[in-house]
Amino acid sequence: MEPASLLPEVLSNLLRELVEGPPGPVAFILNPGDRGLLASLAELSAAQASTRNNGRSSVAAHVQHLRFGLHVLNRWAGGDANAFADATYAESWSHQQVNDTEWRELREAFEREVRDWRARLETPPSAWDATTLSGFVSSVAHTAYHMGAIRQLVPAAAGPPAKD
């Protein structure tokens, strides 16, 4: 099988590992046994998600930023030629503080965007170009980056340590 034909499955699996944790004993990004980003976020209170240490962005802001970015990508992959032009990127960092209801709704909205984006990763366009490939690959890297930032901000969101 040609490596390029495996790309949609590989990208979808890597994104799933980040947000849901490794599906079994083999992990490519996270440590085995990691619960993934969605479960880590579910364990945080709205107060923890809203904390801004030393003026840094809150966990809630990181989640809003990821949700926003995936929403734009979902619009783009769905054929919306104006998805990037219409995006107001400052808005993506707008939810620094949340109450309990807002935190639950933000996590649910993020999960929906992830689910929709994973479906798009699994069924990519028939013709790849550099922009499409960049959008697909960077979505996994971008999610991993913000997952690491979140886990640095709030130790309660961290995954298990590595084992030899």
- pLDDT, residue 164, reads 63
Show the tokens assigned to 99: 């109450």
Q: What's the pLDDT at 14?
A: 96
Residue by residue, DSSP assigns 76-100 as HHTT-TTHHHH--GGGGG--S---H
- pLDDT at site 1: 66
Report, as ranges of residue numbers, the positions in the chain whose pLDDT lies below 50.
Answer: none
pLDDT tens-digit readout, 55-66: 899 999 999 999
pLDDT digits (tens, 9 = 90+) for 37-78: 999 999 999 999 999 988 899 999 999 999 999 999 999 989
Cut 0.85: pTM above it: yes
User: Who contacts 79 (Cβ-Cβ below 8 Å, separation ≥6)?
Assistant: none
Task: Provide the residue ranges of all domains of the chain, joining segments of one domain with +.
Answer: 57-157
